[in-house]
Amino acid sequence: MNDDLRELYQDVILDHSKHPRHFGALPDATHSGEGFNPLCGDRVKVYLSVDAAGRIADIAFEGKGCAISQASASLMTDMLMGRSLAEAEKLMGGFLHLVKGEDAADLKGDDRERLDVMAGVSAFPMRVKCATLAWHTMKSALEGGQTAATQ
Amino acid sequence: MNAPAKIAAFDPLATRRDFEILSREVYGKPLVYLDSAASAQKPRQVLGAMHEFVTSEYANVHRGVHFLSAKATERYEAARETVRAFLNAAHADEIVFTKGGTEAINLVSYSFLAPRIQPGDEIVLSVMEHHSNIVPWHFLRERQGAVLRWVDMRDDGSLDVEALDAAIGPKTKLVAITHMSNVLGTVTPLKEIVARAHAKSVPVLADGCQGAVHLSVDVRDLDVDFYAITGHKLYGPTGIGALYAERAHLKAMRPFNGGGEMIREVSRDNVTYADPPARFEAGTPPIIESVGLAAAIDYLGALDRDAVAAHEHDLLTYAREAVRSLNWVRVIGDAPGKGAILSFETEGMHAHDVATILDREGVAVRAGHHCAQPLMERFGVASTTRASFALYNTRADVDALIAGLHKARKVLA
């Protein structure tokens, strides 16, 4: 098989997309947002529960979309659980660098290792928006819950 | 796989040689182009005509008194005549050049319908319309209180003419309907729709962006009021389309864009407008593109269009049969007599993932909502994969599509 494709649809990605973590609504969410990709019509909802100390105590998502967008959302919820808002923003910055094929030196150690499964997206410029949708939605949820659109 | 059916009077393999791009490779694989419903490739005859025009007769039209301006004007008006003949309109001045099908429909919305809309007046349209035949009517809803009345499809994707007829009421000001769906391939019984609408004195606009490519269109026989086409789906250049409208309608329509070319007289205090079609062609028009569009129509005209239609139908049938045995593929739209477009869902695989994998196999398809979100909603899908067939496709292209689908299943499922 084509190496780019194997890299894109590696087992970890397919596993996340078929068995998404933290999937569903979060009844006691303090923040939520809806993301929409006008190119393909995919939608995602991200819920966050931020505690008094400014940490993400709980996070969930729901929606329908391609393997890349679902895996990315699932991986994101895994990564952000228990993080501070500042850490979340930093991770997002690093993630965006990674999937766009830019220098992602700001991602360190374990974070880098876990997000690296998404690096294959950078070989598919038309699919970068699929990978970033959940992250943009998470950010807009934290900033006031407006609808995020990847355009 | 079976050998291709022998089709008289049309040789797709010979035709392919006119489309240089079809011999290129992508990712080291031969290009299999199955996205012609989005935009068709261009034969060398179209590019040649544009090149010849630009290198020998080009200037602005309708303005200069010099030699080249006269030549260019002649070519531009000859292109209008070519479009007239293609649609069998009665008069060349019933053809307005636009930048595409979208602008043609917006022109009708703004110039014809807007002045006739009172709050509560209705526009009847089908749920399978392309956004370009929806959003201009939403404008009238937003700005003037028009009501959009939607006609549902049958489950097989066909249009229920009775349902459409029932939707036309005393407040209906227009029926806006596609001639052929860009997603389902459904061909609508346009002549009958027009007859039903006219029986209630309601005009009809047909979106012919797909229809004109695959069907023989005779606007007089259809008796349709407005027919919109675009050049780039018709093997012609981008940036040009046309609106056919009956003379009486055009004469009564207010100008659309304002600028040069569309006026009779301009003073400090007043302006009077040119007669149609110039009234609706403000600014320098797509002159070079008009020559390309005429060449594309001539190209089609030189082929046996019945044989072309039979060839495209053969490809559709062949593809439909091939996916029938795949129980993980669900085809959306099986209307009798449909055109050569195959939209489908794949179990457990999102259209974008499928299209990405097909792409790496050299197979270009469209994945998404196809600018027809109300239709997607009707069939309960967020997106589909769409393979659309053109005169230059072959059964080998279908084989590549099917092989690519198996590959996608191997990667994703």
Residue A145 has pLDDT above 70, yes or no: no
Contacting residues for B190 by C-beta, under 8 A, at least 6 apart:
B177, B179, B204, B206, B211, B222, B224
Residue where the block lists tokens 């780039």: B232
**CA nearest to B321, candidates B351, B295, B301, B342:** B342
CA distances from B29 to A145, B42, B233, B252 (A): 45, 21, 25, 54
Is A39 in contact with B351 (Cβ distance < 8 A)? no
The domain in which residue A68 lies consists of 3-143
Active site residues of B: 371
Q: Are A47 and A32 in contact (CB under 8 A)?
A: yes
A151 Cβ under 8 Å from any chain B Cβ: no
B172 is written with which tokens?
Answer: 């209906």
Distance from CA of B123 to the nearest CA of A (A): 26
For the segment(s) B47-301, the CATH number from 3.40.50.720, 3.40.640.10, 3.40.630.30, 3.40.50.300 is 3.40.640.10
pLDDT of A151 over the 90 cut: no
Cα–Cα distance for residue pair B163/B159, rounded to 1 Å: 8
Superfamily designation of domain B12-30+304-412: Aspartate Aminotransferase, domain 1 (3.90.1150.10)
Q: What average pLDDT does range A97-118 have in this prediction? A: 91
| Helix, strand, coil share (%) of chain A residues, nearest 5 | 50, 20, 30
Q: Is residue A149 part of a domain?
A: no
Give the per-residue pLDDT at B3. Answer: 45
A42: domain CATH number is 3.90.1010.10
Residue B8 has a pLDDT of 53
Question: Residue B368: which of A9, A40, A68 has the nearest Cβ?
Answer: A40
Which amino acid, residue B306? D
The residue type at A62: E
Domain total of chain A: 1
Mutating which of A40, A68, A124, A132 best tests the B interface, going by the most B Cβ atoms within 10 A? A40
pLDDT per residue as tens digits for the range B336-393: 999 999 999 999 999 999 999 999 999 999 998 889 999 988 998 888 999 999 999 9
Give the number of other Cβ atoms within 10 Å of residue B89's Cβ: 24
Using 50, 70 and 90 to split pLDDT, how confident is the model at A38?
confident
Domain B47-301 in the same topology as domain B12-30+304-412: no
Per the CB < 8 A criterion, the answer to whether B404 and B321 are in contact is no
Say whether residue B180 is in contact with chain A using an 8 A CB cutoff: no
Question: Which residue from A5, A40, A65 is facing B411, i.e. has the nearest CB?
Answer: A5
Asked whether the beta carbons of B216 and B188 are under 8 A apart, the reply is no
DSSP conformational letter for B154: P
**Long-range own/partner contacts, residues A28-32 (CB < 8 A, 24 or more apart):** A28/A58, A29/A58, A29/A60, A31/A141, A31/A142, A31/A145, A32/A141, A32/A145
For residue A40, tell me if it sits in a domain: yes
Q: Is residue A41 predicted with pLDDT exceeding 90?
A: no
Domain residues of chain B, as ranges? Answer: 12-30+304-412, 47-301
Residues B90-108 have a mean pLDDT of 98
Residues B153-194 have pLDDT tens digits of: 999 999 999 999 999 999 999 999 999 999 999 999 999 999
Q: Could you tell me how many CB contacts below 8 A there are between chain A and chain B? A: 51
Which chain B residues are closer than 8 Å to A9 by Cβ? 353, 357, 411-412
Residue percentage of chain B with pLDDT more than 90: 92
The DSSP-derived string for B51-91 is HHHHHHT---SSS--SHHHHHHHHHHHHHHHHHHHHHT-S-
Average pLDDT over residues B218-230: 98
- Has residue B4 got a pLDDT over 60? no
The whole-angstrom distance between residue B79's C-alpha and the CA centroid of its chain comes to: 18
Question: Is position A151 within any domain?
Answer: no
B27 at A interface, C-beta within 8 A: yes
Per residue in B244-293, pLDDT (tens digit) is 999 999 999 999 999 988 989 999 999 999 999 999 999 999 999 999 99
- In the predicted structure, residue B5 carries a pLDDT above the cut 70: no
Chain A positions in Cβ-Cβ contact with residue B352 (cut-off 8 Å): 40, 42, 66, 68, 127, 130
Q: Residue A41 and residue B412: Cβ atoms within 8 Å?
A: no
- Phi and psi at B167, nearest 5°, equal -80, -15
**The length of chain A, given as a count of residues:** 151
Residues of B in contact with A5 (CB under 8 A): 356-357, 360, 411
Looking at the complex, report in whole angstroms how far the Cα of residue B341 sits from the nearest Cα belonging to chain A.
19
Q: How far is CA B155 from the centre of its chain?
A: 23
Find chain B residues with C-beta within 8 A of A3's C-beta: none
Query: In Å, how far are B27, B223, B308, B337 from B392, measured between CA atoms?
Result: 21, 31, 9, 21
